[in-house]
């Protein structure tokens, strides 16, 4: 299934375009003003910068989520670049004594092209995690993307668990289905990270008012 083909909202398409536009990314990284703004959300352009931010987090007893930017890609070359970046980060941070885990969007590792490619790359990442001295301490965190791919994302998480991979799952509490998903998965002992959710969705499937989103987050968590 081509996951990118079912993303319909203009706002979402715009944000995805911004995330994938190499030219715009270069302009931001080379602009002191824009780069300073981006640093509020992005640790840096290389592993050393990420390590420095992780060290700062560790001093405050904050666990680091390692994420290689590059979601919603639709070419095998970009997918491979993403996977190699993720594998390099696992190897690099695996040599530290930091408290960390790696976060992965399904579309960044090939699920936007085919399920087979995505699963092959998920297995590569899983193998790197399982090769660590203490893989359970550094789980494969499956990130959530837009609402249209929630079933496939949960299926990936469950497939990882079935393969014996230390995995965790992100759930977005703005979605109406999340309370039921949480109850089912928690009953199986799943490790779950909650976020409110940054995507736009209509009221048939999601809370749309900030107050309702906040209330859902507090109620489910």
Give DSSP secondary structure letters for 142-159: EPP-SGGGHHHHHHHHHH
Percent of the chain with pLDDT over 90: 74
3-state SS record for 25-74 = HHHHHCCHHHHHHHCCCCCCCCHHHHHHHHHHHHHCCCCEEEECCCCCCC
* For residue 2, pLDDT beyond 50: no
Query: Greater confidence, 17 or 207?
Result: 207
| pLDDT level of residue 11 (50, 70, 90 thresholds) | very low
CA 68 to chain centre: 9
Encode pLDDT of 93-122 as tens digits.
999 999 999 999 999 999 999 999 999 999
Query: Which residue, chain included where needed, has tokens 């081509």?
Result: 2
CA 159 to chain centre: 17
Q: Are 87 and 68 in contact (CB under 8 A)?
A: no
**Residues whose CB falls within 8 Å of the CB of residue 169, separated by 6 or more in sequence, listed in order:** 141, 142, 144, 153, 154, 157, 185, 190, 191, 192, 193
Q: The pTM is what?
A: 0.83
Tell me how far apart the alpha carbons of residues 4 and 107 are, in angstroms, rounded to a whole number.
8
């Amino acid at each position: 299934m081509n996951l990118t083909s079912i993303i319909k909202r203009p706002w979402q398409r715009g944000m995805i375009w911004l995330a994938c536009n190499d030219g715009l990314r270069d302009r931001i990284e080379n602009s002191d003003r824009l780069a300073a703004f981006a640093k509020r959300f992005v640790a840096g352009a290389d592993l050393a910068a990420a390590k420095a931010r992780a060290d700062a987090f560790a001093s405050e007893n904050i666990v680091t989520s390692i994420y290689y930017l590059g979601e919603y890609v639709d070419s095998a070359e970009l997918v491979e670049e993403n996977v190699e970046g993720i594998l390099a980060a696992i190897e690099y941070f695996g040599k530290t004594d930091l408290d960390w885990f790696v976060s992965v969007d399904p579309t960044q590792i090939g699920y936007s092209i085919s399920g087979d490619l995505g699963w092959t790359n998920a297995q590569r990442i899983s193998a790197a995690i399982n090769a660590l001295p203490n893989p359970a301490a550094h789980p494969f965190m499956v990130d959530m993307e837009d609402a249209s791919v929630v079933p496939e994302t949960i299926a990936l998480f469950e497939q990882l668990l079935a393969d014996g991979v230390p995995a965790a799952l992100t759930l977005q509490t703005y979605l109406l289905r999340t309370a039921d998903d949480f109850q089912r998965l928690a009953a199986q002992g799943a490790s779950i990270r909650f976020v409110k959710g940054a995507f736009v969705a209509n009221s048939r499937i999601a809370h749309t008012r900030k107050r309702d989103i906040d209330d859902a987050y507090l109620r489910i968590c």
